[in-house]
Amino acid sequence: MKLKSYLKLFKISNIDFSKEIGISSVSLSRYISGERLPEKKILNKIFKLTNGSVDANDFFLSSSPSRDLSEIHKKEIKKMVLNIRGGKLKDLAKAITLVESSLKLHNAQADFLLSKLKQNKNSLRVGITGVPGVGKSTFIETFGMSLIDLGFKVAVLAIDPSSKRTGGSILGDKTRMMKLSVNKNAFIRPSPSQGNLGGVAKKTSESIRCLEEAGFNIIFIETMGVGQAETTVYDMVDIFLVLLLPSGGDELQGIKKGIIEMADVIIINKADGNLKNTAEITMLEYKNAQNMISNIREDISPEVFLCSSTESIGITKIWNFIKKFEKIRRDSGSFYKTRIQQQTKAIWRNILLQSQDYIENNLKYNDSVKKIIKDVEKNNFDVNNASKIIFDFILKRNT
Amino acid sequence: MDRKNIYKGWEEQASKELRDKNLKDHFWETPEGIKVKPLYTEDDLQKINHEIGLPGLPPYTRGPRATMYTNRPWTIRQYAGFSTAEESNKFYKEGLKNGVMGLSVAFDLATHRGYDSDHPRVVADVGNAGVAIDSIEDMNLLFDGIPLDQMSVSMTMNGAVIPVLASFIASGEEQGCPREKLTGTIQNDILKEFMVRNTFIFPPKPSMRIVADIIEYTSKKMPKFNSISISGYHMQEAGANQVQELAYTLADGKEYIKSALERGLNIDEFAPRLSFFWSIGMNFFMEIAKMRAARYMWSKIVKEFKPKNDRSLALRTHCQTSGVSLMEQDAYNNIVRTTIEAMAAVMGGTQSLHTNSFDEALALPTKFSARIARNTQLIISEETGICNVIDPMAGSYYVESLTSSIVEESQKLISEIDEVGGMVKAIEMGIPKMRIEESSAKRQARVDSNEETIVGVNKYKPTEKQEINILSIDNVEVRKRQVSRLQKLKNSRDNKIVESFIEKIKNAASSDENLLEICIEASKNRCTVGEMTSAMESVFGRHNLSTKTISGVYKNTVKNDGKIDIIDNELNKFVNKKGRRPRMLVVKMGQDGHDRGAKLIATAFSDLGFDVDIGPLFQTPEEAAKQAIENDAHVIGVSTLAAGHKTLVPLLMESLKNNEASYIKVICGGVIPPDDHPFLYDLGVSKVFGPGTNIQEAAIEIINLL
């Protein structure tokens, strides 16, 4: 990292640091500003003193220009933040677009925007998953409308699959949320997964913060229920709902057992008409199975409910349980503790994603790397050695 | 030489003529998946699995009547969507003078959905696509001077079927015609609404109960009235192939029979009054075969319910030439298309026929285009001699083989429906809708890649633009008149009595009392269509459609002739510049439920690599704007077919402006008269696409626009 950032992080003054290295504070300022380059001996000292945090590269490479926003951009973003707080949907929508964008400039704008947002401790983040056709959107429509009647502001982030072949997508969630989508206390944003489920999840947690800034206090995150995305979504919500159809085991429904194990609430949906009996049997099966699953939350056990979104059955019971869940966990402090743990997880997730992105979009195109790989293919180079050398590229990468 | 050797001889001769090409390559696989050979012979007649029989006798393959056109030609029934009762009345009187034998009433979208003209959701819908009927007063104007005891009246009504039929019956009685003398047809086919046209009001269950109420009432009190017109027309319009149209329509019919029987009716009480309605497209022989197969299969289906009267087995049908076969480009070609389609309907043995006017891809027909359409039928009927022989196609090697293949293929689809437990269940599962949308996407892909020819559209394009005079409707003026008439009605009637009837309707809806019966009395006492509907709605609820979409079908069918690569390239450039894919919201505003176009655009564009949002049906402009802003779409694609664009698009533009979101571009597609294009461009619309637009070319244009 840059020396300037290091000193700031550990709150070390320039004078103290210069004394330790044995140079004048003026020289140190010149090194920091980039006016002058430190010689080898000084570099070594700095490297040792900072436990390797600041190395030679940090003096030679300037930071990538796109990270620095112009004042005009900053002003725009500040205005955007004010508008979001003022309840302008347009600005909220644009902010989410910045968060989701693949452009470097947009990401820098999004980072700046996020740095201006407050922490919201009062919101409730609700993850909802289930296989296509289980009735997630219809459930959110009914549930969301009843919450709005109670005075809440409800937001929905829906992650829809993008086609692997063409990259395009159809986002039809709002056709199943007709009342909610036109209500002024609701905001629904479907997002294409762009084939990168983990990546979208990162963006989703940032979108949640934008929504909270706009005053939405119940936020649903809807995913497809087929694997990858759910674990990451689980790590950004306060409570996790899994919707199931009457009848059939997990395998039959195409839902992963691991996902069921994460559930705080299991909802047997579409318990109406001639499916009612089957739904009750399914509920019993899951209730029995719950006894064998170790609880993931220390203070409250998961529960199973029957629900019919079309006949509004079960909605009140589910809401009562969610309220109980929230109260117990807030009172015990585990609610907020989990959020803090989630933030740490988010850091590591972001780092993994960034490395992945760097590998896919830069490293693989590096001429030396390409040469090394070719040599390995020709048996001129050993795999372990090659990996070590290539990994050094990541270490030296300056961000 | 025996037959086998003769055929071999032909094969050799044909192969010689084909030189190095293979005879097998000359087999044609139709969109229905039927393999058509280049030659049919006597042998093929041996293999058919349907019974040809004789006209007027079961199984009625050759026609429901023994004499068919030799005694009396089909009924020329012209339908037109004029906006007001007065204008429609004038049109009817004009038609009656010029050879039209029956009246058809098309209702406006507000009426279809059970809203009075003063309802805030229908600002743009009043007077569009048909006449606005708010009460018995409008019915009285509509039939002023037309003796209903002598004139057969066909009404295209499904959603608000109870209040509209009730007003019609009540109006007849005020005119002095008792209900038992009324003749005509009410469409009353709600199942296909859930499948394709979306002009429903209530959920499937109460909707089916209403159908049964009507069948019950008419079978007892209106013996000359067709209680239902089971329609395949709208399926083909929505992109269904002929086998799907046939199979799903017959399956619908079966479902109606079941629900009437459950009501305690006897099959022979109502089956003779069930009628059908086909679309007739450009696949000439397929259409003829479809109509013959339909009659054969229906007689078999009804037979299972053990009728005693043979008339219960006979399928009678109305036909209309296909609306989707009409093209905006080179529009005079439509006259020729309609003629060929009309010929197929006649060869297929229809009981009545509507021929489309050539300008209907652009707007409502003018006096001139309506006259040509009418004359098309008169010429076939009176100049060709076709009417002198019954069922001239019978025994044709090809037509009979094709009929047999259609019977076989449709039987498969019907079995699929039976297996899930009937049509209501299948509709809930979305099976027929999905299949129809698949065919629709496939067809578009074939046309876009020139595998299917449409003269003047994807081949032999005209070099000069033709000017065509079209009729436009001032929807604002119509609404104003309707609203003031409603006001007058509400001020002059006894509102206490009205309220008591509203209560009675609610009670009937929650019990098993016949809704039609009570609504006839309510109409006489000046209850409006909207009031009667909302009384029922308070018990039944209003049905919301959950939209299902398909993907991949277009991309898998289309042939890449280089345009796909251009699109991929443009899309990559776009993503690199904007940080995401182009995002388009496809909306249908107003009460027009025809979502074939919107669905097709959505699936094709997402297949091409766009992110496509779809809006719920029946959106208001404000709702569409909110959705576009929230989703941060780059562009809104407005699909419009029912002339609502002149009111709805300005409101949409205004709503975007009010929300400081004019950066969102707007494009329009569908049936939009060229005369309206400047109006839309002046509003700030970026591009207008007509019917027959090549989707890939449109995609490139839209990317460049953004």
pLDDT in tens, B420-475: 999 988 988 888 998 999 999 898 888 888 888 888 888 888 887 767 676 666 77
- Give A-chain residues touching B422 at CB under 8 angstroms: none
CB contact A103 to B (< 8 Å) = yes
pLDDT above 60 for A63: no
What pLDDT, on the 0 to 100 scale, is given for residue B312?
96
What pLDDT, on the 0 to 100 scale, is given for residue A66?
46
Task: Identify whether the C-beta of residue B642 lies closer than 8 Å to the C-beta of residue B109.
Answer: yes
Is B354 considered catalytic here? no
CB contact A190 to B (< 8 Å) = yes
For the CA atoms of B210, B215, B217, B221, the dihedral, rounded to the nearest 10 degrees, stands at 160
Token representation of residue B49 = 């699995």
Of B546, B552, B660, which has the smallest distance from its Cβ to A90's Cβ?
A: B660
Q: Phi and psi dihedrals of A32, rounded to 5?
A: -65, -40
3-class state of residue A87 by DSSP: coil
Of A170, A176, A192, which has the smallest distance from its Cβ to B546's Cβ?
A: A176
What pLDDT, on the 0 to 100 scale, is given for residue B404?
97
Q: Do A89 and B629 touch (CB under 8 A)?
A: yes
Q: Nearest residue on chain B to A211, judged by CA atoms?
A: B630
Is B588 considered catalytic here? yes
CB contact B491 to A (< 8 Å) = no
Q: Which of B60, B79, B256, B554 is catalytic?
A: B79
CB contact B366 to A (< 8 Å) = no
Of A103, A168, A182, which has the smallest distance from its Cβ to B579's Cβ?
A: A103
B549 compared with A146, residue with greater pLDDT: A146
pLDDT in tens, B480-521: 999 999 999 999 999 999 999 999 999 999 999 999 999 999
pLDDT in tens, A79-107: 999 999 998 999 999 999 999 888 889 98
CB contact A106 to B (< 8 Å) = yes
Give the integer Cα–Cα distance in Å for B252 and B243: 14
Q: Do A166 and B608 touch (CB under 8 A)?
A: yes
What pLDDT, on the 0 to 100 scale, is given for residue B585?
96
| pLDDT band (50, 70, 90) for residue B97 | confident
Q: Which of B119, B234, B543, B646 is catalytic?
A: B234
- Give A-chain residues touching B695 at CB under 8 angstroms: none
What pLDDT, on the 0 to 100 scale, is given for residue A58?
80
Q: Do A169 and B615 touch (CB under 8 A)?
A: no
What pLDDT, on the 0 to 100 scale, is given for residue B553?
81
What pLDDT, on the 0 to 100 scale, is given for residue A399?
40
CB contact B632 to A (< 8 Å) = yes
For the CA atoms of B154, B158, B164, B169, the dihedral, rounded to the nearest 10 degrees, stands at 50
Give the integer Cα–Cα distance in Å for A113 and A108: 9
Q: Do B616 and A94 touch (CB under 8 A)?
A: no
**Percentage of residues in chain A having pLDDT higher than 90:** 32
Q: Which of B217, B233, B296, B554 is catalytic?
A: B233
Average pLDDT, chain A: 85
Q: Which of B108, B359, B448, B592 is catalytic?
A: B592
| pLDDT band (50, 70, 90) for residue B62 | very high
What pLDDT, on the 0 to 100 scale, is given for residue A202?
66
- Give B-chain residues touching A90 at CB under 8 angstroms: 629, 659-661
| pLDDT band (50, 70, 90) for residue B362 | confident
- For residue B20, count other CB atoms closer than 10 A to its CB: 5
**Percentage of residues in chain B having pLDDT higher than 70:** 98
> Residue B431: what residue type?
I
Q: Do A175 and B547 touch (CB under 8 A)?
A: yes
CB contact B464 to A (< 8 Å) = no
| pLDDT band (50, 70, 90) for residue A228 | low
Q: What is the mean pLDDT of residues A176-205?
A: 81
Average pLDDT, chain B: 91
Q: Nearest residue on chain A to B616, judged by CA atoms?
A: A175
Angle at B697 between CA B695 and CA B701, to 5 degrees: 110
What pLDDT, on the 0 to 100 scale, is given for residue A398?
46
pLDDT in tens, A111-169: 999 999 988 888 999 999 988 888 888 899 999 999 999 999 999 999 887 777 778 88
pLDDT above 80 for B630: yes
Is B119 considered catalytic here? no
CB contact B626 to A (< 8 Å) = yes
Q: What is the pTM of this model?
A: 0.81
Q: Phi and psi dihedrals of A100, rounded to 5?
A: -85, -15
Q: What is the mean pLDDT of residues B139-164?
A: 92
Of B545, B615, B661, which has the smallest distance from its Cβ to A174's Cβ?
A: B615
pLDDT in tens, A249-278: 665 666 677 788 888 999 998 888 778 888
Q: Which of B112, B254, B354, B594 is catalytic?
A: B594
pLDDT above 60 for B628: yes
- Give B-chain residues touching A103 at CB under 8 angstroms: 578-579
B381-400 core/surface letters (b: 16 or more CB in 10 A; e: else): beeeeebeebbebbebbbbb
| pLDDT band (50, 70, 90) for residue A61 | low
Burial class (CB within 10 angstroms; exposed 0-12, middle 13-18, buried 19+) of A69: middle
Give the integer Cα–Cα distance in Å for B251 and B228: 14
pLDDT in tens, B231-245: 999 999 999 999 999
Q: Which of B588, B645, B665, B687 is catalytic?
A: B588
Q: Do A167 and B609 touch (CB under 8 A)?
A: yes
Nearest CA-CA distance, residue B580 and chain A, Å: 6
Among candidate residues B390, B290, B300, B307, the one with its CA nearest the CA of residue B345: B290
Of B555, B581, B616, which has the smallest distance from its Cβ to A178's Cβ?
A: B616
pLDDT above 60 for A199: no
Mutate to test the interface with A, among B549, B555, B556, B580 (most CBs of A within 10 A): B580
pLDDT in tens, B2-25: 777 888 888 888 888 888 888 888
Token pair 């372990």 is found at A384
DSSP of A239-307: EEEEEE-SSS-HHHHT--HHHHHH-SEEEE----GGGHHHHHHHHHHHHHHHHHSPPSSSS---EEEE-
Q: What is the mean pLDDT of residues B638-649?
A: 83
Task: Encode B388-424 in three state secondary structure.
Answer: HCCCCCCCCHHHHHHHHHHHHHHHHHHHHHHHHCCHH
- For residue B678, count other CB atoms closer than 10 A to its CB: 10
Terminal alpha carbon distance of chain B: 71
Nearest CA-CA distance, residue A38 and chain B, Å: 39
Q: What is the mean pLDDT of residues B398-414?
A: 96
Token pair 């700030």 is found at B684
Token representation of residue A378 = 């020709």
pLDDT in tens, B511-547: 999 999 999 999 999 999 999 999 999 999 988 776 6
A5 compared with B282, residue with greater pLDDT: B282
Describe the crossing of helices B596-608 and B431-448 by its angle, rounded to 10 degrees.
60
